[in-house]
Amino acid sequence: MRGQVYKSTGSWYQVRTEDGKTLQARIKGKFRTEEITSTNPVAVGDWVDLEPGSDNDPAATITVIHDRHNNINRQSPAHRMQQHIVASNVDQSVMVATLREPRTSQGFIDRFLISCEANHVPAIIVLNKSDLYRSREQDKHAEWKAMYESIGYRLLAVSGKNNEGMEELRSMLKDKVTLMSGHSGVGKSTLINLLVPELGLKTQDVSGWSGKGMHTTTFAEMYDLPFGGKIIDTPGMREFGIVALQRTGRVALPKLDEPND
């Protein structure tokens, strides 16, 4: 029996089989081998083989992880020398960022883009909360748009609160498997609720005393989009560390904003 992982909690996995059934599953025995260098051997988006459960134990068992055609990874927050696979088998990635409440640093965005490039995953930058823009944010948006689009990235301004820019975002996501990432508090859950209204994901405001976002998504999970395609929601990230890249030479980098991650 074959299926795709739709949700990962670290020990349990929700798998959608090819005939449309949703099963709770766990990995077979001690699945970690010397060849697996990540902290999570199974990631959302993986295609796996399953053994059905029994009357005594109804949970299915993941026995095989099929080869990935790509994945997005980051430095594991708990194990700095290991990687954590954020998602696999994606067509593109969307970095949701904000210029206010909270402010996403350029360094955070650039590290995410580097990881996408290293894994041959096209990336899109979505700046949410455009309804909060003052003249300073408008200038910064124009600067980033010119800079990122000059090197081939697409940058879209949206407002989940006012439902602005959502039609263009839908057209970007249609019929593709998309990873959506970003800091806590940038409004990922709000955007996903607009894209898939029946989900009713929990949303939360930015902390008033710290100016930073608070986690509302606990585990990575994939959802079917009603207009075609799939989206993978990930827990909000405080930082995005790069792993498994080798230095190939020296390059001159532009001065980055002070990081807030």
Most confident of 33-42, 60-69, 248-257: 60-69
Average pLDDT over residues 13-32: 86
**Backbone angle region of 191, left / alpha / beta, with phi > 0 → left and psi within -120 to 50 → alpha:** alpha
**Fold classified for 71-233:** Rossmann fold (3.40.50)
| Residue 176 confidence class, pLDDT cut points 50, 70, 90 | very high
Residue 224: CB atoms within 10 Å:
12
Q: Does an H or E element contain 194, and which?
A: helix 188-195
**CATH number of 2-65: 2.40.50.140, 3.30.1490.20, 3.30.450.40, 3.40.50.720?**
2.40.50.140
Sequence ranges of the domains in the chain = 2-65, 71-233
| Cα–Cα distance for residue pair 178/159, rounded to 1 Å | 19
| Residue 4 confidence class, pLDDT cut points 50, 70, 90 | very high
| Cα–Cα distance for residue pair 28/32, rounded to 1 Å | 10
Q: Where are the alpha helices (DSSP H) in 5-156?
A: 106-118, 135-150
Reply yes or no on whether the pLDDT at 206 is more than 50. no
Reply yes or no on whether the pLDDT at 199 is more than 50. yes
